[in-house]
Amino acid sequence: MQEREQWGSRLAFVLAAAGSAIGLGNIWKFPYITHENGGGSFVLLYLFCIAIVGLPVIIAEMMVGRATKKSPVAAIEELSGKNSPWKIMGLMGVAASFIILSFYAVVAGWVMHYTYLAFSDSFSGMKANQFSEVFNQIFVNPWLNFGWATIFMAITLFIVIGGVKDGIEKAVKILMPVLIVIMILLVINSIFLPNNGFEKALKFIFLPTGGLHGAAILEALGHAFFTLSLGMGAMLTYGSYLDDKTNLFKAGLIVVALDTIIALLACIIIFSIMFAYGGKVSNGAGLVFISLPQEFAKMNGGYFVSIAFFLLLFFAALTSAISLLEVPVAYLIDKGWARKKASFTMGISIWLLSIPCALSNSEFWKNKFASVTMFDFKEKTVFFNKMDYLASNWLLPLGGLLIAVYVGWFISDKLRSEQFKIGSNSERPFHYIPWVFFTAVVSPIIVSMIILIEAEVIDKKAINQFFDGLVGSKTTIKQIHK
């Protein structure tokens, strides 16, 4: 059996774990849901949710990894035996990472293409309707999707082959500082935008409006859980390379804080631009590939801002992709495979699965495979959407639920307390009992509710009405445009 690799420093672990958590969702989903749910009040609610849901579970994942020095499946075998039914949790994490990277590579390919467009100054002089046409062209172009996804997977594979110290650690020590510097430069640029865009953005994000609707609570709970790469084994795997001196609570807190700060900075950047130029905060891909390029074309210095923004997106996508590939690679390494062989096997396998994801929006795919009906989840007939739905709506929440229940109820208090106190001055840190409570009780209840709503066992409208009764009012988003 190979000797377990380790991070060269605690900083390397924090940067890698934060890089895993900080992905495209921080930059395009969080600003959108913040806008749709009223700004400041939603941000406060989100901060509360990430403290009671995200932080406890990220510590739980890191704990299992560090205690066993193993990847998800091998870790459960170490703690509960080779025939333990809990192995399904580890297998789900490996499967989730495998599937997510297959379609994530396609989206990252779009980012790379737009980075190329930004460098080539393609946005200047374009008319309003042309921005959506440009995105639609890449969206349905099978060979463009395939080509960029292939390049992105090759870059990710090259880094992971290098191992923990010589590959992942070296990469994140460059990527994460550069990502943070770009964010800061874009925020500074936002200060000088016209029409008080920066001031309006700050008021919208940080000034509570006093009202929320029930759907906002579910949105905040769900995003607080999924923004941290929970349920896919990434934090467990990264935790397995951690030394026996690092305090898990402090490390988890720093990762959560970095993830949240980046999300808030993304809001400042995007809202400043939109309020300055009267743009529309649209959802997901439409925001970063249509709305923002349209605003970049109006800006003084928009050429440089667009380059910085899409480089930021690329670095965020790459740091997340590295952790996604490392999970299945670590699984094979724990089976006795050499890292190079494991990396090539999993990298090529994921790349093969990315091919139908890359082609599935094209006319070529629709004409050839229109009759394929496997995995038609809720009318998700496009293969790309099927993979996204399977992983995001089922594998991740189920995996997250299982890790919370497992750590909260099925591993010994002795192991938990011993791992928790490392790096602390106390034998029983005061925050240990609250952490156990939120891990064992609060997180499972919340994630179970999300799963049951997805399974349509619980009526989402009824839950929204229940929360509406609790908060008593709704937020009027239009206030901030005054």
Report DSSP state, residue 377: G
Query: pLDDT (tens digit, 9 = 90+) per residue, 294-310?
Result: 999 999 899 999 999 99
Nearest to 71 by CA among 9, 4, 11, 160: 4
Query: pLDDT (tens digit, 9 = 90+) per residue, 362-378?
Result: 776 666 665 555 445 44
What is the rounded end-to-end Cα distance, in angstroms, of the chain? 65
Phi, psi dihedral angles at 288 (to 5 degrees):
-85, -25
pLDDT score of 285: 81
Query: So where are the chain's domains?
Result: 10-471
**How would residue 469 be classed by pLDDT, with cut points 50, 70 and 90?**
low
Any bridge partners for residue 473, and if so which? 212
High-pLDDT (> 70) share of the chain, %: 91
Q: Is 437 helix (H, G, I), strand (E, B) or coil?
A: helix
**Do the beta carbons of residue 379 and residue 389 sit within 8 Å?**
no
Q: Let me know if 137 is exposed, middle or buried by CB neighbors in 10 A (0-12, 13-18, 19+).
A: exposed
Distance between CA atoms of 189 and 171, rounded to whole angstroms?
A: 27
**Do the beta carbons of residue 460 and residue 278 sit within 8 Å?**
no
pLDDT score of 474: 47
Distance between CA atoms of 107 and 330, rounded to whole angstroms?
A: 24
Query: pLDDT (tens digit, 9 = 90+) per residue, 231-261?
Result: 999 999 999 999 999 999 999 999 999 999 9
**How would residue 208 be classed by pLDDT, with cut points 50, 70 and 90?**
confident
CA atoms lying within 13 Å on the CB side of residue 273: 29
Domain 10-471: give its CATH architecture. Up-down Bundle (1.20)
pLDDT score of 477: 38
**Do the beta carbons of residue 443 and residue 57 sit within 8 Å?**
yes
pLDDT score of 188: 97
How many degrees, rounded to 5, is the angle at CA 160 between CA 354 and CA 261? Answer: 85
